[in-house]
Structure 1
Amino acid sequence: MGKISTNLGRNLFFALGLVAMVVIAWCIGWDTIVAHVQKTGWWFIAIIGMWLPIYLINTMAFNTIIRDDAPEHRIVPFLHVFKITLSGFALKAATPLGFVGGDPYKIMEFKPMLGVEKATSSVLLYTMTHISAHCIFWALSIVVAALFLPMKLSLSIVLLASFVSFVILLTLLWRGYRRGMAVKAFNFFARLPLLKKWVEPFKDKYQNQLSKIDTQISYLYGARRKAFFTALSLEVIARIMNCLEVYVILKPVNVDVSLVESVVVYSFMSLFTNILFFSPMQIGTREGGFALALRALSLPAGLGIYVSLVTRVRELFWMGVGILLMKVKMRTNYLAVKTEQSEYVETPQKMVP
């Protein structure tokens, strides 16, 4: 029954991703896609290829979180984690709110291998680490912009306010790492009038499982601090590598930008699109983010459309790869944990400082 349910879920996610990819490609237009690939020339191969090591670094971070001291959590092959990670990113890019598609899919895929509590806590921890890396990257980008780029007083005030906001968000995430956040999140949603009717029964029914998930979340920061900082560092490195894409995309149109300016452009776009995170594939928000960033650097805002379209074509390519990987069957004789049972041994509470 569990295998049938997983296969059904995988097929539904595959259909969702495929439809979203076709719709997005149709919205961009085949002629536009071809024209921008031709305009970018051979550089487009470099743009596509540079994302492979980025996704591998993301997978290394995720794998670091998964592989704790329990033997049954150290037997999932790296390539299997890579496959699920890439497919998760594809669904995240295709769906509104991002995590609505990617995170449930990853939990579904890891559940037969790790058990529901470990699968859920690992995915939540990776998402928290991914968000933390974004905040650190944005904060560092603000420092870089302040040190190396001239800016107006109004922009300086906005950046200062943003920096303070990132520090506050990081503080909240750190509290989540130390104490867990699953139970608190469900307690919060259970108090909301529109959600209380559905959330309250679920919270009461799965209180024990939610507590185990929180225990495993706090375990990473409390007892596996080296793994925690390794995963976080890998994610920050991946964010910095993302910035090289802007530098490479502008090369074919003879626009010279420094690496520092590339960091600022990408961070502005990333911040703008994440604020408006409910848009699938950041439709409209990415163009605006690139245009604002380029304008702030006294570059033609129209270049934002070109840069955005090239990144969309690249994203369509990797989205297609991720969706197709959902249909690739991996060897399953290493599975040690059944879907219905979790053999994870709870860790002592003294691990949380």
Structure 2
Amino acid sequence: MVRVPVRGVRRCPRRRRRRHAIPERHRACGQRGGARVRGCPERRDGGDPGRRVSRRLQALLFVVGSAVFAYLVARIGVAALLADARRTGWMFVPILLLYGAVCACNAGAWWLVMAGEPSRPPFWRAWAITVASFSLNYMTPLVNVGGEPFKIAAVAPWLGLRRAAGSAVIYQMLHTLGMLLSCLTAVVLGLILLPHAPVIVALLAGAFLVLAALTLLVLTGHRRGMLASALDLLHRMPLLGRLARRLEPKRATLASMDEQITQFYHASPRRFLQALTLEYASRCLFMAEYLLIAMSVGLDIGYARAYVIGGLAQLVQNALFVVPFEAGTKESALYLLFQLLGLDPALGVYTAIVSRVRDLAWIGVGVGLVWLSGRRRVASAGAATP
């Protein structure tokens, strides 16, 4: 007598009595039950897939990240790294701590982006996710294969997968806007401090115009959204039509994310400015690294020249983003900039080496934080609310 009704439940019959009884008794208030009825597809909440994806992604990225980190250390050489660290001396400690403070500003900006959500991770966990994602981005520099997907999966248990993706897109736009404003500042300082040769002035003026146009474009994206419009643009581009057709089923999701982007800008303008200020402050703080490196060898270059060096070197590296791991581009840019400022160009190469040592140290920290940053205890599910 019991077996027949159980079969009926497994086959999901269309009789009204069965269809209404089960959901009402086992899924009160939209919560998931402890068991799943076979044969009946179950629509999952956004948080659960995020937690599951995060665990799998953590394991994969931890293994890959450890392998790449070991490769970079072996390629440069342990002896060379130790020699550079000894030359820098105790100044290497504040250089390392400075980058941690830079990441704290970045994490604070992202945390403000998530402040409008029903729940968000604690700040220290957002910082750990930020460090881990930046490290993974460095190890996959061309297309950010590791960092952004990891960041989305890591906060999905709090925000749900779609809202987590939206927060990552908003933050990336803010991050880009902060970078553009920082590069504009460096270009203006370069026009003042660099030699006024016609070629240099023309290059800096052209860079200023391009950066200003890109800044307006990103601001327009914050005001009006840009994902659905970007999909329309892909449809009109001959070589990218196939990609556009593959993304077309996601148009509703992109439109929803556009709404999330514009809502952050229009509904919370104060929070938007605070987050952008933190992003710009992180860039200003990062430029002090060049000042500290110069001080470690007894040279006082001043903060303004350090900003020109750091900002224009970053501009060159972003323009040549196709070069994996910035191989040679950082050293060449710093060599030339030190020479143009009347400094020993060899110090530019040394600065690049110390910067790479700092990169490697924080990559190691970031890979270690892959495990910590993506784990969420059930007890802390509502620990951090806006």
TM-score by length of 2: 0.81
SS state at 2:321 partner: coil
Quickly say closer, same or farther: Cα 1:108–1:193, change in 2 above 3 A: farther
1:167 aligns with 2:167: no
> What's the offset of the Cα at 1:190?
4.0
Aligned equivalents of 2:175, 2:284: Cα separation in 1: 13
RMSD: 1.8
Instruction: Give the Å deviation of 1:15.
Output: 2.2
**Cα drift, residue 212 of structure 1:** 0.6
Correspondence for 1:237: 281
Map 1:60-209 to 2 at 5 A: 60-68=108-116, 70=117, 72-73=118-119, 75-97=120-142, 99-203=144-248, 205-209=249-253
1:125/1:217 contact within 8 Å kept: yes
2:299 is paired with a residue whose SS is coil
SS at match of 2:309: helix
1:291/1:302 contact within 8 Å kept: yes
Q: Which stretch has the larger CA shift, 280-289 or 29-38?
A: 280-289
Residues 69-102 of structure 1: CA deviation (Å, up to 9, x unaligned): x4x23x4211121111111111111112253321
Partner residue in 1 for 2:15 = none
Equivalent-residue separation in structure 2 for 1:190 and 1:12 (angstroms): 34
1:324 to 347, 358, 368: 368
Q: Please state whether the residue corresponding to 1:254 is helix, strand or coil.
A: coil
Deviation at 1:116, TM superposition (A): 2.2
User: How far, CA to CA, are the matches of 1:266 and 1:154 in structure 2?
Assistant: 20
Q: Distance in 1 between matches of 2:196 and 2:145?
A: 37
Q: CA deviation at 1:198?
A: 4.3
1:39 maps to which residue?
A: 87
**Which runs of 5 or more structure 2 residues have no equivalent in the other structure?**
1-47
**1:300 CA drift (Å):** 2.3
Shift of 1:107: 1.1
Shift of 1:110: 1.7
CA distance in 2, matches of 1:331, 1:263: 42
2: CA distance, partners of 1:308 / 1:165 = 26
Task: Give the corresponding residue for 1:346.
Answer: none
Mean Cα deviation higher: 24-33 or 168-177: 24-33
Q: Describe the shift of the 1:113–1:190 C-alpha distance in structure 2 as closer, same or farther (beyond 3 A).
A: farther
Q: CA deviation at 1:23?
A: 1.8
Alignment partners' CA distance in 2, 1:193 and 1:241: 43
The within-5 A match list for 1:44-55 is: 44-55=92-103
Structure 1 position 152, deviation (Å):
1.7
Q: In 2, are the aligned partners of 1:98 and 1:280 still within 8 Å (CA)?
A: no
Aligned to 1:350: none
Q: How far, CA to CA, are the matches of 1:169 and 1:198 in structure 2? A: 24
Equivalent in the alignment of 2:357: 313
Partner of 1:342: none
Alpha carbons 1:250, 1:256 under 8 Å: kept? yes
2:296 to 252, 256, 260: 252
CA distance in 1, matches of 2:264, 2:222: 8
Native 8 Å contact 2:121 2:155 kept in 1: no
Distance 1:191 1:28 in 2: 45
1:159 & 1:287 partners in 2: Cα distance? 20
Task: Give the whole-Å Cα distance in 2 for the aligned partners of 1:242 and 1:76.
Answer: 25
- Percent identity, aligned pairs only, is 29
Structure-2 residue corresponding to 1:288: 332
Alignment partner, residue 70 of structure 2: 22
- Deviation, 1:276, is 1.4
- Runs of 5+ consecutive residues of structure 1 not aligned to the other structure: 337-353
TM superposition shift of 1:40? 0.5
Amino acid at match of 2:227: A
1:223 paired residue number: 267
Which AA in structure 2 matches 1:36?
Answer: D
Q: Is the Cα contact below 8 Å between 1:106 and 1:123 reproduced in 2? A: yes
Q: How many residues align?
A: 332
Which residue does 2:310 correspond to in 1? 266
Aligned partners of 1:334, 1:199: CA distance in 2, in Å? 40
Equivalent-residue separation in structure 1 for 2:246 and 2:359 (angstroms): 39
Distance 1:294 1:219, change over 3 A: same
Q: Which has the larger radius of gyration?
A: 2
Shift of 1:4: 3.9
User: Could you state the TM-score of these two structures normalised by the residue count of structure 1?
Assistant: 0.89
